[in-house]
Amino acid sequence: MIGWLRQQARALAAAGRKLLRAPFSTLFNVAVLGIALALPAGLYVALANLQTAARAAAPEPQLTVFMAVEAGRADVREIDTRLKKHAEVVHLRYVPREQALEEMTRVSGLTGLTEGLSGNPLPDAFVIDARDPSPAALERLRAELASWPKVALVQLDTAWAQRLDGLLRLARRALLLLATVLGFALVTVTFNTIRLQILTQREEIEVAALIGATAAFIRRPFLYHGALLGLLAGCLAWGVVAMATEVMSDAVADLGRLYGGTWRVVPLAPADAVSLLAFAAALGWLGAWLSVGRHLFEARLR
């Protein structure tokens, strides 16, 4: 185990020395890869902030449970008890039919509206705030409540929620597509970079193979080289996104004050930042592995 760790440490040190021996080439490659990674990372932060702002600005969807007109007080009390005990109901407001008629008269301005009516045509109602505001969960709750006895109608306005969910889903797919394309570009750049390193060390690699060096031994320093390139690019992307977040935070706060709100830009979370670094290092490692694998395959053919 100690011998294996020493081999890994030597390969890592050799990869680090190769990067330091060509600082301008390393800086150029890291800059290209870092900018490519900063684009999807920045869009991810923007999407997360837009989603948070949209959830905060949009009204919470509510369900309105209309009782049957012939429902009595006992039926209303039974539904009220069941709703209060329901796990998916966060807040409940009871609107008696008398209050509903008064509000309709006041809003319409027709004070003599009730004089021509033989009775109150409006039913009792309950206004509900659901625990889960997702469209699918609201639809399931609506269907369940509509099946209860003496419930005539359950009204649910999820048009805004469905539109918002559709836009966010589209944005997430576009972000995934962009990350895939730029990830492929990162692998390609790393592939070519390691390919050039292999060409400059072709004789050294051939001598090592002649004296019995295994493919894993030959491949190891190049893999660390690619992983270090990816890791440095990830650090640069993280720094670019953090700087952009800091620059935009004051402007976003000023815009929020104009609309009477407190808006702020939330930076990349630590867990997401670690994932970005790991993803960048993995892509660099993959590009190096493909490049070295191609060279070893060509060497066998010869």
Q: Which CATH number is 150's domain given?
A: 3.30.70.3040
* Token pair listed for 197: 């390193």
Q: State whether 281 and 173 are in the same domain.
A: yes
Calculate mean pLDDT across residues 101-122: 61
Q: What is the mean pLDDT of residues 136-156?
A: 87
Per-residue pLDDT at 208 exceeds 70: no
Q: Are residues 79 and 126 in the same domain?
A: yes
pLDDT at 301: 42
Q: What is the model's pTM?
A: 0.63
Same domain, 289 and 171: yes
Q: Which tokens belong to 148?
A: 């209860």
Compare 118 and 229 and report the one with higher pLDDT: 229
Range(s) of the domain holding residue 280: 8-57+167-301
Question: What is the spatial distance between Cα 31 and Cα 194, in angstroms, rounded to a whole number?
Answer: 16
Regarding whether 52 and 66 lie in a shared domain, the answer is no
1 located within any domain: no
Q: pLDDT tens digits, residue range 230-275?
A: 899 999 999 998 898 888 887 777 766 766 666 777 788 888 889 9
Pair 31, 66 in one domain: no
CB–CB of 152/123 below 8 Å?
yes
Looking at the fold, whether 182 and 236 belong to one and the same domain comes out as: yes
291: in domain = yes
Residues in the chain: 302
Nearest to 66 by CA among 129, 123, 27: 123
Count of structural domains, the chain: 2
